[in-house]
A and B are shown apart, each in its own frame.
Chain A
């Protein structure tokens, strides 16, 4: 199979070039267009212009945050699809993002907001929201030591709606904070700062590495839990570790960027179409593709109808919704 050897080189090369291109485009395009040559000057030298401060203080942290968040969500999607052995599962369809958003909203509304070592309570609440929702959805679908994937998806979607309506209810009661809350529910990274970037990177990037570290085990999980058990894997422990790590990533992304949907669905699926199901590749490449997709959607969202800054969560949902339906149909057809 020469084909796969070529792919092993070509795909990462292509992904990295696309990432570089999208980053440069993203920091260049906007209300003020900065040409590529000037970007290079600003990034390498010490050019102290207005453009330099737009680039360094506003656009660059936003783009990097998009990269980190996109990579995190895509890997989480890939891992959860591996655990539940279904391509339709991700943090969004499992209600984790809604749970995280509810956690964040509760922290905002109640005004509990203490910062400890740069991690504020909003983030912790978001993490707790994500993991509690996951546990709840999982327990709904759990029946006689089996988890039916249909019930899992149904429970995820139902819980998602339920949590969204609670968030709306809280919004109604808290008119004064409505704008702040809308930001969470729509998903936006427009408030990116270097300190947010630092916290998010410090949490998400190591968490991604942890997930990549378990790619081999995740592959074996595809054979089913019994087979994985017989190949020497402690499945319950493995799933717990992976799901907690996923919740940390989701909680962190939501606490910095609100609910951003469908990335975890789209990125791993595209990679699987091209490179097959080996999670070593799926997870690593999905991370890069997720970064590219989020940077691109954010850039489109911020430049499409200027000066309106369309929240990136809306952009990913506009793209991801139809894609989800496409996947659903494809799966139905393949089962006939």
Chain B
């Protein structure tokens, strides 16, 4: 019940062009609240409506149950500060001057700035690690330093709420992390509420308590990072296929883009013999490069099976940990037969999957070019009591087989592709 900002039924549009459509949201005190969405979805506009820089045609923004539209500018500036993407000046000022400008809403017109104002400015600079820059000229600073100075200025206003419009979009990785850490720290230390528009979904995931996802001026999804950042939501909002796992570092959702096919290259079909993760880098890499893939036989639920399903490629599958049945074997054979070349990855063999090796010794399959990725000695990966090794030696001695390594494979496949085209 400690909601601090309440946005109620906000609609905003420029002439003939609606930007926000009946937006409702509320933000808890002391939370890091994030707005994400594609370009032109109205994120920045929403932020400016909250800050009262833009007047909505409909609806009200409340801060601590006071309507923003009815607050005067100085009163509002005492409870809310705004950090833009970047700040450039035509006339140069010292860092200290810039930070002191943050005291403006507190300074009495006739009395001017007091010792207290200067002290608060110095504390803000200390907090943002900019005190050593105090006498430097603002325009000489690097992007990251400038943004820290602007944060010091925002802190100097002694606000309860800080709005940030893509605060790190033009910064390098080191400074993105530095600035976002700083903002997160403010939320915790000073019970400040931060509302940020962020482009980087992984940054949003790592830092936010709550996220709203916007598209075409509407909020489509809202909630915690786990609730909002899902494959389906991101596909709907950003029209981009992604893969999501939990980051081992932040324990938050981590989003990978699945750029399916960068180039539609050739009509080359490749059959992968893989399993247990041995196809891990090959499946996305090859499918991204435009090859037609198939693989098998894979146990349902196997790592490679999951990946193959996500990448939408054909799989010959079998019940988990069961021996390969005749049906699965035939299905696999059909896939391999349709392929232009076959790749044998460095997987482990046991009773359950040894028939995948048998397949490679069959005459119509052995006639196809075979690439063998050697991952250590085969004997160490063989748990069939020597039968696998025997098959493997036969396969290796086949004149159509070639030993290679992962990083050479792609290059070699391209060569085959070319000769194949002729």
Contacts and interface: CB of A to CB of B under 8 A. Distances in A.
Interface of A: 1, 81-82, 85-87, 213, 216-217, 219-220, 222-224, 226-227, 229-234, 272, 276-278
A232 B78 contact: yes
Contacts of B359: none
Contact of A85 (B74, B76, B91, B105): B91
Given A227-B84, A231-B157, A277 B101 contact: no
Most buried by B among A219, A224, A231: A231
Interface of B: 48, 51, 53, 73-74, 76-78, 80-82, 84, 87, 89-94, 97-98, 101-102, 104-105, 107, 109, 135, 137, 157
A219 B97 contact: yes
A125 B74 CA distance: 37
A276 B93 contact: yes
B77 A277 contact: no
Among all A-B residue pairs, the 3 with the closest Cβ atoms: A232-B77, A277-B91, A232-B105
Contact of A230 (B80, B93, B109): B80
Contacts of A224: 84, 87
B74 A232 contact: yes
Nearest to A225: B53
Contact of A231 (B48, B102, B109, B135): B102
Nearest to A85: B90
A260 B109 CA distance: 33
15 contacts: A81-B91, A85-B91, A220-B101, A222-B90, A226-B53, A229-B73, A231-B104, A232-B74, A232-B104, A234-B73, A276-B137, A277-B91, A277-B92, A277-B93, A278-B97
Given A216-B107, A226-B82, A231 B90 contact: no
A284 to B, nearest CB: 14
Given A231-B102, A232-B104, A232-B105, A278 B93 contact: yes
A230 B91 contact: no
Given A230-B81, A233-B73, A87 B105 contact: no
B91 A1 contact: no
B46 to A, nearest CB: 15
Contact of A223 (B73, B78, B101, B157): B101
Contacts of B91: 81-82, 85, 87, 222, 272, 277
A204 B416 CA distance: 87
Nearest to B106: A232
A107 B84 CA distance: 49
B87 A230 contact: no
B97 A86 contact: no
Given A85-B90, A220-B101, 7 more contacts: A213-B109, A224-B84, A231-B81, A232-B73, A232-B77, A232-B104, A276-B137
Contacts of A82: 91
Nearest to A145: B14
B287 to A, nearest CB: 45
B101 A231 contact: yes
A22 to B, nearest CB: 28
Nearest to A84: B90
A295 B105 CA distance: 40
B75 to A, nearest CB: 8
B82 A227 contact: yes
A230 B53 contact: yes
Contacts of A222: 89-91, 93
